[in-house]
Amino acid sequence: MNEPVPVRRSPWHIYPPGWKPNHWLVPYQGDAALIHHGHSDPNDHSQCGPLLFCCAKSQQTFVESFPESEEAKADWGLTEAEHIHEWMQQGVQVLYFIFCDPVSPRGLFAGGLSGEQARQALFRERLLEEFAANATRLR
């Protein structure tokens, strides 16, 4: 029988001034959070959702890796988990998390979560690193 691999929390996080444990770093365009369009059907927006960055390090690594992206040009704000949860209650079905690799200091993962998994990750009841196996390596 295989033993489960222990989940390692990323030791690389760097938090911006004013950071609180219930904050996420979110890119905004005006008053609206930037949305990842996770769909191919232009009429089906069920897989669209905001991008949530775990810390300032993930933001910096993403912007350096994708300097022409909308995120690189965005205004960034600390956003409380409770506020993001309100978005979910108003119909947002998927949250897209960008998070630090727990093994590589320059590594970055991205993945969408929905339902209870999204809520648990949002409120940090489960570590994002638990979802790394199903996430996309960005760097």
Quick check: 65 and 138 in contact, CB under 8 A? yes
Q: What is residue 65's predicted lDDT score, i.e. its pLDDT?
A: 94
Per-residue pLDDT of the chain (139 residues; tens, 9 = 90+): 555 556 677 888 889 899 999 999 999 999 899 887 765 666 655 668 899 999 999 999 999 999 999 999 999 999 999 999 999 999 999 999 999 988 888 889 999 999 999 999 999 999 888 888 888 888 7
DSSP string, 49-62: EEEEESSHHHHHHH
Predicted pLDDT at 48 = 80
pLDDT of residue 39: 55
Q: How far is CA 93 from CA 53, 64, 103, 112, 113, in A?
A: 17, 28, 29, 10, 8
Identity of residue 52: L
CB 10 within 8 A of CB 102: yes
Contact between 9 and 102 under an 8 Å Cβ cutoff? The reply is yes
The first and second tokens of residue 91, run together, are 């119909």
Amino acid at residue number 1: M
pTM of the model: 0.87
Task: Please check whether residue 88 is in contact with residue 43, taking contact to mean a CB–CB distance below 8 angstroms.
Answer: no
What amino acid occupies position 80?
E
Q: For residue 127, give every residue at least 6 positions away whose Cβ sits within 8 Å of its Cβ, in sequence order, or none.
A: 7, 9
Domains in the chain, start-ordered, CATH in brackets? 23-39+46-137 (3.40.1350)
Sequence-ordered alpha helix ranges (H) in the chain: 56-65, 81-89, 115-122
Residue keyed to tokens 């030791």? 11
